[in-house]
Amino acid sequence: MLLSKITNILGFGGDIADDREIGWLLTDSRSLTFPAESLFFALVTNRNNGHQYVQELYNQGLRAFVISEVHPEFETLHDALFLLVDDTLMALQQIVAAHRREFSVPIIGITGSNGKTIVKEWLFQLMQEDCKIVRSPRSYNSQIGVPLSVWQLKSDTQLGIFEAGISMPGEMANLEHVIHPTIGIFTNIGDAHQENFVSQQQKITEKLKLFTHVEILIYNADNPHVDAEIKQADFKAELLSWGHQPECYLQILKIKKSATRTELSISRQNVHFTFCIPFSDDASVENALHCITCLLYKGYDEREINKRLSQLESVAMRLEVKQGVQDCLIINDSYNADLNALNIALDFLSQQAISKKLSKTIILSDILQSGFQPDLLYQKVVELVLARNCNKFIGIGEEIGKHAAAFSAIESYFFSTTEAFLNDPVSIGFRQEAILLKGSRKFGFEQISHKLELIAHETVLEVNLNALVDNLNYFRSKLHRETKIMSMVKAFAYGSGSVEIAKTLQHHRVDYLAVAVADEGAELRRAGIRIPIVVMNPEKSAFDVLFENNLEPEIYSFNLLNSFIEAAGKLALTDYPIHIKIDTGMHRLGFDATEIDNLIELLKSKNQVKVRSVFSHLAGADDQRFDDFTRQQISVLNTCENKFTKSFSHRILKHILNSAGIERFSDYQFDMVRLGIGHYGVSTLPEVQLRQVCALKTIVLQLKKVKAGETVGYNRNGVATEDKLIAMLPIGYADGYDRKLGNGLGEVFVKGKRAKVFGNVSMDLIAVDVTGMDVQEGDSVEIFGDHITITEIAEKLNTIPYEILTGVSRRVKRVYFSE
């Protein structure tokens, strides 16, 4: 779209001196690749302000900005175009809504609590050979993600498929204006984001606003709440419901499941169909029925639908990071290959490579259905790759190989097929590289991933970085815009892996990190963490480590303070930042309130240190029995901090709230809060559904048929009262699985059901009772995660979630992914 047209859409008249095509709408300053073709929207959120990045982007060549604030430094940017609006997010949506109206092609809009991305991707798989499809990248379904998705519509697009998600009332009307779907699919309704809606009925009503102007609406009529709300809404659209009731557009007559497939017997207007899908779980059946309904409406016959259903693949909705051979890091993003998805993945590659000091390699397949002519497409790829300073490029496919000359500025190799690459010495020559795998499905890049991954213990701790950020943003929503966040990453980031967690938190602009000991902070510095790091338990023997890595100590006693001042003095340091801990009633570490006057007198007489913050710890913020004591602690901190404020001219931060405190005592957030266990999905409020960040998973190692009267395991405690099928899992107390969970107390989640631990927990193995379940060797098993939460396990063991998370052994591989 021409820049002049964009200005007209926003209500600005006049000519543009340097009119040009805008191909990229930029909302994140870190993702700039094509300055001349980009328009930056300075979004303002409760935690960040895009206007502070305008100067940086200008220095990188960007010249077009949509702003809602005028900063003094903008006056010096003489050749920049500033479009001043009331709301930059609304401007973004307004521009893309106008772009959407230029296309008369069918647009499928998908919403619901779960399944949006699966249905979108399956529809793409099922119809991609018939038409050119544009779809949302990954789960781009937010107020920002939707316009960035719809902006991809091009002149040769024949079908658009976009998902829309909301977290509170009033949001869907904006997304409907942008997507303006002609076909609607309502996947289902669940508990996600329920905390912002007064009832499930209200949430359904809000989501249905996406379908205000659709011609066709597809939904599951077996959900009575959804069915009732849709019928009450009196849509003008044709309702294509599916379910067991005879009045449904598609009536389900029978569902027959086996281990790996499901057979669906369906009737439409007294015509019977049989469809088979290569999945057997309930969620996949529901998602497939949405797709089948859509394909029948679009005129596909039973035979063709079955042919395509048989080729359906599970959707890898996450970007995985795994350790590779020869000190490499493997970033597996074989989800789809297009320019937008490539741009997103390259950002992630850069973050990982820089923090681990690895060279950057990308393995990319042919890009299909891009909407660009091949010459222009691969020139864009070259620009993206060079902009991220990649060191090596490997192209796989006939088409990309034709454009090998365009990649002459980088070490590059080209192969016609994945098999040709795997048989070439290049495939075993990787050393200390961060390797991004980005390929269209038909190229089978999982073969490359399997070859390059470091084979390790089958038990892994999966860490969902998107869930971490979602939880961070939930707590941010409780805070004033100016309130800072100190994220606690001590104890190996509560067992989840401090470096990856710290990198993610830094990327999402927390203000401080906190570790327990100096060595933890030094590890983060070596990994490229630049933001301030506080060491909560500084040891005198580690002062040198503090100074070398610019780590800021917690100071809790005169003894420690005097020693630190002496050490700083020997290095001729001045104004070294420290954080003063006040004991307000917890009676662990900290200065007593009676010592504050003497402490201030000492600090004023020394120039080696400078107080950065004054803080304390709450003893029982998560327990309403101690609310009076909590307020008493806060009062003591206020009294002490006031003395500091009156005694020093510089700003001193004050903080006392932890995760529970943020939720229950947000009036006392002061200058900063400390967020710990809340990052990982633990809330003190039962109505709040935070996302589980960590999932401990293993596999079924072996199945054993045990006859009645026989026993399993040490001490023969697992006694079979009847013939049983026992699954052996490679996890034990050496991995952090508590021995007390043996003999039926503990449960695991496998093939959609819970199974009890059978007999004792040993060092490396547990047995679980899977009698009557369709379980196979190699099946994935959840120890804790979405279905069995760490809070549930903690309650069984009469302990706290902290202990469960931090107890996961270091020998358990951490696997990080982004959805």
Closest CA to 538 of 529, 527, 551: 551
What are the tokens at 380? Answer: 């864009």
Rounded to whole angstroms, how far apart are CA atoms 653 and 341?
41
Judged by DSSP in three states, 269 sits in coil
* Interaxial angle between packed helices 498-507 and 518-526, expressed in degrees from 0 to 180 and rounded to the nearest 10: 60
Closest CA to 666 of 621, 636, 700, 619: 621
Torsions phi, psi of 321, nearest 5? -120, 120
Torsions phi, psi of 572, nearest 5? 60, 35
Phi-psi region of 492 (alpha: psi -120 to 50; beta: other; left: phi over 0): left
558 Cβ partners below 8 Å, 6+ apart?
Answer: 591, 595, 598, 599, 602
User: Annotated catalytic residue: which of 490, 503, 697, 724?
Assistant: 490
Which residues make beta-bridge pairs with 653? Answer: 613
Judged by DSSP in three states, 240 sits in strand
Q: Is 628 exposed, middle or buried (0-12, 13-18, 19+ CB in 10 A)?
A: exposed
Work out whether the CA dihedral 526, 527, 532, 534 comes out positive or negative. negative
What is the DSSP secondary structure assignment for residue 368, as one 8-state letter?
Answer: P
**Would you mind telling me the total number of residues written for the chain in this entry?**
819
Q: Is 490 one of the annotated active-site residues of the chain? A: yes
How many CB atoms sit inside 10 A of residue 704's CB? 14
760 Cβ partners below 8 Å, 6+ apart?
Answer: 713, 714, 715, 717, 718, 739, 742, 743
What are the tokens at 681? Answer: 């999905």
What is the DSSP secondary structure assignment for residue 407, as one 8-state letter?
Answer: G
Rounded to whole angstroms, how far apart are CA atoms 94 and 11?
11
Rg, Å, the chain Cα set: 29
Q: Is 474 one of the annotated active-site residues of the chain? A: no
Closest CA to 188 of 204, 201, 176, 174: 204
From start to end of 131-249, where are the E strands? Answer: 133-135, 159-163, 183-186, 216-220, 238-243
| 373-409 burial code (b ≥16 CB/10 A, e <16) | eeeebbebbbebbebbebbbbbbbbeebeebeebbee
User: Annotated catalytic residue: which of 5, 714, 753, 813?
Assistant: 714
Cβ proximity of 553 and 515 under 8 Å = no
Rounded to whole angstroms, how far apart are CA atoms 692 and 463?
9
- Using alpha carbons, list the distances in angstroms from residue 222 to 7, 192, 226, 454, 579: 48, 20, 8, 46, 58
Cβ proximity of 250 and 266 under 8 Å = yes
How many CB atoms sit inside 10 A of residue 716's CB? 11
Cβ proximity of 368 and 355 under 8 Å = no
* Residue type at 58 in one-letter notation: Y
Task: Kindly list the catalytic residues.
Answer: 490, 714
